[in-house]
A and B are shown apart, each in its own frame.
Chain A
Amino acid sequence: MNNVIVRDYDIPANDFTAAGEASSSVRKILVQLGVSPYVVKRTSIAMYEAEINAVIHGHGGKAHVEIDGSKVYIRISDEGPGIPDLELAMQEGYSTAPDSIREMGFGAGMGLSNIKKHSDIMKIDTEVNKGTTVHITVFFNAI
């Protein structure tokens, strides 16, 4: 497979019902391509957590996905408040999510560490009052 599959999605703000549709769509593409279930699951978790983050913290955003023969690259960007202390935000259990989000089963402070754990390369660009972009790469032949 030499072709690159490119997809772009809008992540609607404050729409918790729709959150996950982009991840679900990418998951479907990977399954159709015959990517291993392990890689499909890692990619799904990483992208879904990032998508949920954009809904919770970033007033929605955009997802850009590129799939080639060896990897999937996902970029989730929002124009939310940004992350003032990235090191702190990366710590498991640290969360700034409001109670309303916790009631939905999220906001446990596991999102960013889950993304890191399930991706091969994770990079975060963030600027306070400008927004946050999370870059996720998962290789298909990862151990």
Chain B
Amino acid sequence: MRIAEIAELLKAEICTKDPSQDLDILSACSADLMSDVMAFSKENAMLLTGLVNPQVVRTAEMMDIKVVVFVRGKKPQPPMIELAEEKGIVLLSTDYPLFVASGKLYSKGIRGRGE
């Protein structure tokens, strides 16, 4: 799925500037614990989380995660947005809770690890 499609599906705001038009997201993981993201996700290209701090962007960078969606209406702070733009990571913010946002993406064919 393209960023624009994800944003439309989740009624999400795109928080970072100039998101890539070509990026095709195939898989995702949903977690609030960054250690879990690093332990259990392998080929994820997108992270859905309720946690909002700079370490989310750092974790995404280490894991090659290109898109982070903040759920339940949480919004990243300007320093996080700057860091993400520097690393080429797209940040989105949706009002949907984690389960609903994940379900919507799953129903459109986005898959997790282990299936």
A: which residues have CB within 8 A of B? 16-17, 19-20, 23-24, 27, 37, 41, 44-45, 48-49, 52, 92, 104-111, 113-114, 117
Interface of B is mostly: helix
Given the known interface contacts A17-B79, A41-B63, A41-B64, the answer about A106 and B35 at a Cβ–Cβ threshold of 8 Å is: yes
Q: Are B54 and A16 in contact (CB under 8 A)?
A: yes
* A-B residue pairs in contact (CB < 8 Å), sample of 19: A20-B55, A20-B58, A23-B62, A27-B62, A41-B64, A44-B63, A48-B38, A49-B38, A52-B55, A104-B51, A104-B55, A105-B33, A105-B35, A105-B53, A106-B33, A108-B33, A109-B35, A110-B35, A111-B35
Q: Are A16 and B38 in contact (CB under 8 A)?
A: no
Roughly how many angstroms separate A97 CA and B36 CA in the complex, as a whole number?
15
Q: Are B62 and A105 in contact (CB under 8 A)?
A: no
- Which residues of the partner chain A approach B79 to less than 8 Å between Cβ atoms? 17
A49 to chain B, nearest CB (A): 7
Roughly how many angstroms separate A52 CA and B33 CA in the complex, as a whole number?
13
User: Residue B56 at the A interface, CB < 8 A?
Assistant: yes
Total A-B contacts with CB atoms under 8 angstroms apart: 71
Q: Are A113 and B55 in contact (CB under 8 A)?
A: no
- 8 closest cross-chain pairs (CB), A and B: A20-B58, A110-B35, A105-B34, A44-B62, A108-B35, A105-B51, A110-B39, A108-B33
- Which residues of the partner chain A approach B49 to less than 8 Å between Cβ atoms? 105
Q: With CB as the reference atom, state the residue of chain A lying closest to B53.
A: A104
Given A20-B58, A44-B61, A105-B35, 19 more A-B residue pairs with CB atoms under 8 Å apart are A17-B79, A23-B58, A24-B58, A27-B62, A41-B63, A45-B63, A48-B59, A104-B34, A104-B51, A105-B56, A106-B33, A107-B35, A110-B33, A110-B38, A110-B39, A111-B35, A113-B39, A114-B39, A117-B39
- Which residues of the partner chain B approach A52 to less than 8 Å between Cβ atoms? 55
Cβ-defined partner of B36 (8 Å) among A45, A49, A110: A110
Given the known interface contacts A110-B36, A113-B39, the answer about A19 and B58 at a Cβ–Cβ threshold of 8 Å is: yes
User: Residue B24 at the A interface, CB < 8 A?
Assistant: no
Q: Are A16 and B53 in contact (CB under 8 A)?
A: yes
- Which residues of the partner chain B approach A111 to less than 8 Å between Cβ atoms? 35
B111 to chain A, nearest CB (A): 19
Given the known interface contacts A16-B53, A17-B79, A37-B64, the answer about A106 and B34 at a Cβ–Cβ threshold of 8 Å is: yes
Q: Are A45 and B62 in contact (CB under 8 A)?
A: yes
